[in-house]
Amino acid sequence: EVQLVETGGGLVQPGKSLKLTCATSGFTFSTAWMHWVRQSPEKRLEWIARIKDKSNNYATDYVESVKGRFTISRDDSKSSVYLQMNSLKEEDTATYYCTTSLSLLNYGSYWGQGVMVTVSS
Amino acid sequence: DIQMTQSPSSMSASLGDRVTITCQASQDIGNNLIWFQQKPGKSPRRMIYYATNLANGVPSRFSGSRSGSDYSLTIISLESEDMADYHCLQYKQYPNTFGAGTKLELK
């Protein structure tokens, strides 16, 4: 059974940092591309980052609004993907999900349960 | 970035109705579009992939279609369990982009 479990959310002050973890099981993590998606309190979904697999040099992409502040990374030995979030802003308040594309036709089949991040003073 | 214009933002319909939700892409995305269903407090569920393909376990009353840059999700004979938010996602180009979502409610 495929499982994705996000942890690391919480309440943080503007300008501070937080690191999210998505621990996975049930599929061949090392060849999967992994994504982070967030959902605002207004329920709008926003794709924010993707990391490819080793054969694609772990290439990353980001949405403009988080470039330079957020870093996606992975540890294939732990079947986990991470999102390091620095210089957090109030507009980063959202539920953060990880999802996977085991193949292009499989993209979005599996999601974690989401983790809440609240940025507020 | 590719903009996905989703409509309507909300709608109410009766059980048994035929419902159509549309996303219009600002650039060519081919068939690289997914439709998700999301219920309160739950993660998105993939309903349609590659614009017209029914995902595993999705009832056959759901279908996806494409006409040029317009992509539609249709539910024939609406059931109570279909009340949810629906989102489209293009993955032709990074950043991948979602539509603004459609809230489907019971009339």
Q: How far apart are the first and last CA of chain B?
A: 36
pLDDT of A51 strictly over 90: yes
Length of chain A in terms of residues written = 121
CA distance A120 to chain B (A): 22
One-letter amino acid for residue A93 of the chain: T
Query: Residues B97, B5: contact at Cβ < 8 Å?
Result: no
pLDDT of B94 strictly over 80: yes
- Mean per-residue pLDDT for A6-34? 97
Q: How confident is the model at residue A102 (pLDDT cuts 50, 70, 90)?
A: confident
Q: How confident is the model at residue B79 (pLDDT cuts 50, 70, 90)?
A: very high
Q: Which pLDDT score, from 0 to 100, does residue A103 have?
A: 82
Share of chain B above pLDDT 90, in %: 100
Q: Considering only the beta carbons, identify the residue of B50, B100, B101 that sits closest to A105.
A: B50
Q: Return the residue in B6, B10, B31, B43 with the most chain A beta carbons within 10 A, the one to mutate for interface testing.
A: B43
Q: Which pLDDT score, from 0 to 100, does residue B52 have?
A: 98
Q: How many CB pairs under 8 A join A and B?
A: 54
pLDDT of A104 strictly over 80: no
**Cα B54 from Cα B26, distance rounded (Å):** 24
CA distance A111 to chain B (A): 7
Per-residue tokens: B24: 């219009």
CB of B100 less than 8 A from some CB of A? yes
Residue A77 sits at the vertex; the CA angle it makes with A76 and A80, to the nearest 5 degrees, is 55
Tell me whether residues B96 and A35 touch, CB distance under 8 A.
Answer: yes
pLDDT of A6 strictly over 90: yes
Query: Residues A33, A22: contact at Cβ < 8 Å?
Result: no
User: How buried is residue B54: exposed, middle or buried, by Cβ count under 10 Å (0-12/13-18/19+)?
Assistant: middle
Q: Residue A120 carries which DSSP code?
A: -
